Structure 1
């Protein structure tokens, strides 16, 4: 069997080629966070492997603790890559905790004479980071869409990566248990959980990652483009087309008896005067604040979209709460900075009626909105069937 040093050199050569290809082809093409995190992770693993080659030399006292730390940090980047597939960021402090603990434990041990200085902490850190990665990947799994060949391929890729990450995490957990139970010099540890077996298993993970990189990076890029295409650039709310599409789905659900909702149309009072008097920056700021107020007031149960200009639409699952939601939005705007001009808002409300459809319901809400404007603005009016 190949010795550990030879395996680490082989891993280093292969890993270096993979990092160059990942960065030069996949990351620079897609700019996906997933491929970016994996480039950083593999680079850290490579440096860690090279530092471990210094074991038995005078620089072992520094190289060994750094090798442990960078390996755990690399595993943390694998976790961050997995979270990026769900568009979830990873706070930097969470990424730094485990490597910091491993570094301190390794330095406080005897790194000058013991190649396993801080060993239990290192192995536990690797198991934790890779286990969290497997968990995040499992959360990403979703059933393929109808006729979705691409979705099935992505799902297979995710399953492969999830199982491999879970297997490597379990291996490191067992390494930690055996290490604590019998020590690194025991035949059980050296044969089944030593550096040779670990390097081989890591190379298997590298193969799976190489297989998954292009597929998942392009999937992530596609989802990001789809997100941009469905949201308004200025406010981050749904754009008109996406709001109408989702509202149609919600109306169809209502047709199946899922409750009586309401559709609100909102318009910022005197918005043109605000733009003319204070400049477009003030107008954009008002739109931002209004969008934030709508998101906070409606929450995850409803829909909020920008129909165009200073006109917005809100779909509420409970139509009886329309006035309360409007009041919360207005209060949010009034609680803004005193040095910023604050427009009032007029609202028109129409009940959800699947037989009428989304577009005609918006027309009804518009009628109520015009009535609110005519009555003095800064108020809520419900569609009463007149006009």
Structure 2
């Protein structure tokens, strides 16, 4: 004997409640945006299905429109979560316009007596929300998540199912055979339950990926500036120099030091010094192209690797960082320090000697300090021009 719609809605509601509690605990620990949106989507799914249980009662007049609106809000919450994986915000009006339109469409079609009040708008917007989620999940970079495909397929499957229901509604009306058999509310609950379980297993993997990524971020990033820490910079820079040494024999290292940093700390406190370090880090991120690396070497010293770049480009980067530091707006009564730079570049004979380049940059930095600070000095290195043929 088949299950009636009410029984399926109860089963789906129980499953949604359990999953909501489980994923809320995951979100509470990880604070991952997508986990939060997924919890909200499941909560809306739970609220919508519980509202449908009141169909046929005196409460149907508000339960039907509310149930439709809750489910559409859940679909668009999945879309917002999908966008969060791509680091894209979702304006509030885009989230709430669809549920509001769904409730309004149901309210004007006699929801007290018409169980399908606002049905077409509901089906179209459910299909739209899940379709948008599937598109954004598919666009997530493969390096960001390996589970994006299964999540995208689950969202596309549910969106496609609601699209078929919308087409059947248009062609046959709510009393048509399609919406009473294989596209019935009971079938919808079953399909939603299956895809919810599939997506939830994928969510577990996604949450683990996000947790591992966060732990890796903490292990490689300086907590104050957000730049690479010393060990991570040395490891990544060493590998990068080795990788490009065959094709790019010239690379440049910049060793930067904030001038009179101790005086800033002594005069205005460590909070002012921290703000200066963060301002320099922001200037670095804005000035160093994506192929470069920037890290905190220690204290107020920073290292920058510019693979495949010569000293003139390094001077331009140093100048741009100093310009951005000068334009930064510190707290009243505080002036951010200037910056001195030591620049060293590799020779074709030894293009992967990171330690040697840092040592040469340190010598050049000492010269910059001794010459009055607030300048960039290049280390004495071998000539890089190719010898002319005799």
Query: Which runs of 5 or more residues in structure 2 are unaligned?
Result: 383-390
**Deviation string, structure 1 residues 128-156 (Cα, Å, up to 9, x no partner):** 3222333343344748xxxxxxx9xx84x
Give the 5 Å matches for 1:230-309: 230-258=220-248, 260-309=250-299
* Secondary structure in structure 2 of the residue aligned to 1:306: strand
1:171 corresponds in structure 2 to 161
CA distance, structure 2, for counterparts of residue 82 and residue 97 of structure 1: 18
1:369 corresponds in structure 2 to 365
**Deviation string, structure 1 residues 200-253 (Cα, Å, up to 9, x no partner):** 100101221343343332222111111111111101111111112221232123
Are residues 1:10 and 2:36 paired?
no
Structure 1 position 91, deviation (Å): 4.7
Cα gap change, 1:93/1:263 in structure 2, threshold over 3 Å: closer, same or farther? farther
1:329 corresponds in structure 2 to 321
Q: Which moved more, 1:188-197 or 1:357-366?
A: 188-197
2:385 corresponds in structure 1 to none
Structure 1 position 178, deviation (Å): 2.9
Give the 5 Å matches for 1:91-240: 91-140=91-140, 142=142, 155=146, 158-240=148-230
* Secondary structure in structure 2 of the residue aligned to 1:233: coil
Give the TM-score normalised by the residue count of structure 1: 0.87
* Secondary structure in structure 2 of the residue aligned to 1:192: coil
8 Å Cα contact 2:245/2:352 also seen in 1: no
CA distance, structure 1, for counterparts of residue 258 and residue 154 of structure 2: 53
* Secondary structure in structure 1 of the residue aligned to 2:112: coil
Q: Which has the larger radius of gyration?
A: 2
Query: Which runs of 5 or more residues in structure 1 are unaligned?
Result: 144-150
Structure 1 position 78, deviation (Å): 2.4
CA distance, structure 2, for counterparts of residue 110 and residue 259 of structure 1: 76
1:148 corresponds in structure 2 to none
Structure 1 position 260, deviation (Å): 3.7
Q: Which moved more, 1:377-386 or 1:43-52?
A: 377-386
RMSD: 2.7
Structure 1 position 380, deviation (Å): 1.1
* Secondary structure in structure 1 of the residue aligned to 2:297: strand
Cα gap change, 1:193/1:282 in structure 2, threshold over 3 Å: closer, same or farther? same
Are residues 1:341 and 2:335 paired?
yes
* Secondary structure in structure 1 of the residue aligned to 2:121: helix
Cα gap change, 1:286/1:27 in structure 2, threshold over 3 Å: closer, same or farther? closer
* Secondary structure in structure 2 of the residue aligned to 1:2: coil
Cα gap change, 1:135/1:373 in structure 2, threshold over 3 Å: closer, same or farther? same
CA distance, structure 2, for counterparts of residue 108 and residue 373 of structure 1: 76
Q: Which moved more, 1:295-304 or 1:123-132?
A: 123-132
Structure 1 position 33, deviation (Å): 4.1
**Deviation string, structure 1 residues 49-85 (Cα, Å, up to 9, x no partner):** 0112222333223222221221122123323444455
CA distance, structure 2, for counterparts of residue 107 and residue 325 of structure 1: 61
Cα gap change, 1:334/1:101 in structure 2, threshold over 3 Å: closer, same or farther? farther
CA distance, structure 1, for counterparts of residue 290 and residue 91 of structure 2: 23
Cα gap change, 1:137/1:385 in structure 2, threshold over 3 Å: closer, same or farther? same
Cα gap change, 1:342/1:17 in structure 2, threshold over 3 Å: closer, same or farther? closer
Q: Which moved more, 1:183-192 or 1:48-57?
A: 183-192
1:310 corresponds in structure 2 to 300
Structure having the larger proportion of residues in helix: 1
**Deviation string, structure 1 residues 276-299 (Cα, Å, up to 9, x no partner):** 111111111111111111111114
1:40 corresponds in structure 2 to 40
Aligned length: 375
